[in-house]
Amino acid sequence: MRILGLSAFYHDSAACLVIDGKIVAAAQEERFTRKKHDAAFPNNAVNYCLKEAGITAQDLDIVVFYDKPLVKFERLLQTYMAYAPRGLKSFIKAMPAWIKQKLWTKDLIREELGGYTGKMLFTEHHESHAASAFFPSPYQEAAVLTMDGVGEWATASFGTGRGNRVQILEEILFPHSLGLLYSAFTYYTGFRVNSGEYKLMGLAPYGEPVYKDLILKEIVELLEDGSFRLNMKYFNYAAGLEMTSSAFNKLFGGPPRRPETPITQKDMDLARSIQDVTEEIVLGIARYVQKKTGLKNLCMAGGVALNCVANGRLLREGPFENIWIQPAAGDAGGALGAALFAWYQYLDNPRTADGKNDQLQGSYLGPAFSDSEIKSFLESENIPYETFTEESLPTQVAALIADEKVIGWFEGRMEFGPRALGARSILGDARSPKMQEIMNIKIKFRESFRPFAPAVLREKVSDYFKLTSDSPYMLIVAPVTDSRKKVMTDEQQKLFGIQKLMVPRSDIPAVTHVDYSARIQTVDGKSNPLFYQLLKRLDEKHGCPVVINTSFNVRGEPIVLTPQDAFRCFMRTNMDYLVLGHCVLSKTEQKPLSGDTNWKQEFALD
């Protein structure tokens, strides 16, 4: 039974292929088109999934789309009518895409799949999120919580997953949305909506929650059941072209920050304030969900589930014993959920879970390239390289990292989801006090305040971080252990804002944020053995099982997909070495790229 799941037409289009219940392949369209958050029909991702299985579209038994366009259209029309005539400009801008494309999604899918004539299903948006959260999880029974901007009408939902069934019990409806609330502050502080929310999260520790009480007094009403209501006079997203209204601007003393202008203490304080409010809402909802379901396990998806600071607090302070977060938690993961919903819930196939292992194979579900393919590319372009064995490669690269070299690391199947997990990563020495600045400014070409995440051997995580559970998908933030912290002087403790960045906080300063926290990836030997061996060699020969792990791309660029993408990114930056499979390239041996001086203009800033 071959099932293709699809998400498209909003942001982060993706495809996922499930055959007889096994996740065979999944990928986002942006990786192929090199257009970040690409919302187009995922033709390239579909073609990859079919190729991975050796089938054609005509061999598919079911195609499932991740939401219900007609219900979403109903919500748009009702909203525009409710706000008329204020939403006229937004209405005029939105309607052509609906009339030409989105209302005809079924016909469009059949056409894009070359005349596919088989069965087609449409799940509800939050149903897809719920399915993506529970069905691949390690649990046979769990509460399920989904939170995002908006689907059709729902902006958050909770329910239960039992065996091969998910059941949604309660929902919060548009326009009251935690995702859109967070995005409104993303917009107001000068970052790109649906792209820069993680920047807001990273900026928060530099600020103080000085606006928290104002937000809770004027903008957000917290209810006894953990839900909330927004005061819509402060927002313009329901029917306008901007996220916030003039009342919002007046409340916070001025217009939104213009993108790329200096970040002020006010922006940091706003980030901290909305982050604290978000955490309070997530914790309140989770307590209500646990009370209503009585279950000890929680599965999460939806864009808000990518807020790993809130996830960390939920793990430490929340009512659930175990939490599992689906790594492609945003709309891309809807393709995964739609396909699994069809296999389990629509077709009523049995499902078992062992309580420990999930079904996502480390999220390594994208394309891989063999050494022969890599060497063919390198030799066709006369690119000098050296080849290492499976045994010698981790030792060699560990020595380079310990020597403070920056490594582009490309091996195995590409990750599904927004995080690089050791297949398409840039690696650096976590112990280096200068590495965060070097990698932000000279490698990623991005803002200096943004923190880097550590990858750590699973068995050594508690030696460095206050975390005892697995975090394989880099979706949990936890503090560094007290024994790793550096004591701050009285003068250092008085620093404010970005000044805090220059002070090493621990003996792994490159991955320790200014609040002593880190977004952790635990690495075991099962899902990515070569990456695991690299960390083992770092530990055995250089005394540190932790490495900086950031995504293999520059600012505004999707994570690299092919060896060609990786080489191009390597040459455009100040990376020292590039590892492609078992081939190692030294920057000093490479000729400069010709005619590539304006490459930064290719990528829209996030």
What's 562's domain CATH number? 3.90.870.20
In a domain, 319, yes or no: no
Is the confidence at residue 415, as pLDDT, over 80? yes
Which string of b and e fits 293-322 if b means at least 16 CB within 10 Å? bebebbbbbbbbbbbbbbbbbbbeebbbeb
- Determine contact, residues 121/64, Cβ cutoff 8 Å: yes
Tell whether the torsion through CA atoms of 562, 564, 569 and 571 is positive or negative. Answer: positive
Which band of pLDDT confidence, cut at 50, 70 and 90, is reported for residue 541?
very high
- Is 557 among the domain residues? yes
Residue with the bigger pLDDT between 216 and 84: it is 216
Share of the chain above pLDDT 70, in %: 100
What φ, ψ does residue 313 adopt, rounded to 5°? -65, -40
Residue 504's Cβ-count burial label (10 Å; 0-12, 13-18, 19+) is middle
- Residue 193 amino acid letter: V
CA–CA distance, 455 with 549 (Å, rounded to integer) = 6
222: in domain: no
Three-state SS for 251? helix
Judge whether 469 lies within some domain.
yes
Identify whether 94 is part of a domain: no
**pLDDT tens per residue, range 480-513:** 999 999 988 888 877 777 778 778 899 999 999 9
The token pair at 80 is: 């525009």
Measure the CA–CA gap between 58 and 558, rounded to whole angstroms. Answer: 30
In whole angstroms, what is the distance from residue 606 CA to residue 592 CA?
27
For residue 429, pLDDT beyond 90: yes
Helix (H, G, I), strand (E, B) or coil at 108: helix
**pLDDT above 80 (res 45):** yes
Instruction: Tell me, yes or no, whether 394 lies in a domain.
Output: yes
Task: Find, among 442, 378, 428, 407, the residue nearest to 579 by Cα.
Answer: 407
Predicted local distance difference test score (pLDDT) of residue 79: 87
State how far the Cα of 64 lies from the Cα of 384, in Å rounded to an integer: 45
Q: Comparing C-alpha atoms, which of 268, 250, 244, 246 is closest to residue 187?
A: 244
Q: Which structural domain, as residue segments, surrounds residue 480? A: 371-602
Is 99's pLDDT higher than 90? no
Q: Look at residues 205, 212, 155, 213 and name the one whose alpha carbon lies nearest to residue 309.
A: 205
- Give residue 489's pLDDT: 85
Q: Is the peptide bond before 205 cis (omega within 30 degrees of 0)?
A: no
Residue 58, pLDDT > 80, answer yes
Residue 109 has pLDDT above 80, yes or no: yes
Residues forming beta bridges with residue 173, ordered by sequence position = 154
* Residue 605, pLDDT score: 73
Residue 88 counted as domain residue = no
Flag whether 29 is in a domain: no
- Compute the average pLDDT of residues 298-320: 97
Contact 453, 548 (CB under 8 A): yes
Query: What mean pLDDT value characterizes the chain?
Result: 95
What confidence score (pLDDT) does residue 522 get? 98
Tally of domains in the chain? 1
Q: Residue type at 458? A: R
